[in-house]
Structure 1
Amino acid sequence: MAKVAFIGLGVMGYPMAGHLKAAGHDVTVYNRTFAKAEAWAAEHGGQAVKTPAEAAKGAEFVFCCVGNDDDLRSVTIGAEGAFETVGADAVFVDHTTASARVARELDAAAREKGFHFIDAPVSGGQAGAENGALTVMCGGTQAAFDRAAPVIDAFAAACRLMGEAGAGQLTKMVNQICIAGLVQGLSEGLHFAQKAGLDGDAVLDAISKGAAGSWQMSNRGSTMIADKFDFGFAVDWMRKDLGIVLDEARNNGATLPVTAQVDQFYGDVQNMGGGRWDTSSLIRRLRRLDQ
């Protein structure tokens, strides 16, 4: 069992840190709102501290899950950031969905200070975090990954090293590209079924067992038909992720016409007041257009 720190107790980080404690690790947590860190410590029995630097001091592994590049820089290389105190040869594992650029930047900073950095964005959403069943995509050295993977297993169903620093973030971008296109296609299919007078649930039952089947269809199809979106991965978060994807595509020359279009569709959903709706709410946009 290891001495670990967890920085960022949002909808993902809170249960992830809980799984680490349940697995027997000695866990210290930091959250920007200290009351939330105190609540976590009261629930799980770990320790709550008031700065990232204090959390990281003496930890063998430091985990992080915050909002974006700026948040990540703040808790790592900012004032009282974790990089001030991460010990030599410790491993810093970042689960934020961020840019490959900031992953490489922080990897270089970690190397200068004598510790290891792994960018390790996750897929599986809040339910995956709560159930300890996330998919973790990692970028870093093999040696650092081999040390961190058994600890990450506390909240992961799958964990794989994808390449050097930044490769984890690039793989997560591929994940979001695929999801964006799938959800739009599913939205259009179910919208078409409704306009054609078909029983949507019967259609789902029929086609989900064939080539059209997907996680999105199995887990979101019925709620899309029912027009329910007050759960899941928020549109605001997806737009943040797709912004990262499109920025990277401009740098590497990839052509992503569908992704760019779906990003704009999510912008329409935000303008409808749906920033916190689940990403499957793309179908509500189509319904609105028909009114």
Structure 2
Amino acid sequence: MVGLSSGEKHFIRGGIAQDLRSDGRQRLNYRPVSVEVGVIPQANGSARVRLGATDVIASIKAELGRPDPLRPDKGKVSIFVDCSPTAEPKFEGRGGEDLSTELSVALQRCLLGGKSGAGAGIDLSSLMIAEGKICWDLYIDALVVSSDGNLLDALAAAIKVGLSNTGIPKVTVDLGTAPDDQPEVDVSDEEFLQFDTSGVPLIVTVTKVGRHYIVDATSEEESQMSTAVSVSVNKRGHICGMTKRGGAGLDSSVILDMISVAKHVSEHLLSVLDSEIAVAEAAAMS
């Protein structure tokens, strides 16, 4: 991104202090959200989400696999992010690889409860077919097409929309007679089960600029931040995960304030996204 002059930095910070940001928004307003579904026909589900000039795509592929021996009653989900070099010059080479890894890890932590799976926003037990023997592996691939800040929130929204567009083939299982028998699986080409996204959270990133908090920060606003806390919140207002970047350690009262802001903002964002999903699905069917 082009460096900002001292005057531009002052303008951005002054606007935030007065609750009137450079693009006319207040501190706790998101940019307009635009949603498309079924953008990748070969996938089990896919979606494209735009937040202002930030543009991301998520695709979901379901494959049969074996559950982890340590978690025999749960399926598996893997999340990979690719930052296209055409989205931002700094994404070329190592910069894009590092950011891709950082975003993948953050999404894993916020949506899947980290490596342990505790507090997962995606119900992994719903992906089980035969306990300890066979399950669905969901591969979530996300692409950053264009970047103007707040990538994590946009990616999480695209994943939630993509999952709502995902059909899992109906499966008939013959477990056999002996405990050691490998199950025989018949996967339907015609019947699909809709993925339940009711518990899948969104991520709200609260960015601290000066003494104030903002949401959906643009790239220019992010360049002025001292710290940012990303909180994944579901429809019931439950916190499913959290990650932080920038700055040193935060006082617990500041973190609690930022979580409170994220929970408050998430209610409106979830409502907006649900409306956009309904419109997108109707458009896809027409």
Normalization by structure 1: what TM-score?
0.24
- Name the one with the larger strand percent: 2
Q: What TM-score, normalized to structure 2?
A: 0.25
Structure that is richer in helix per residue: 1
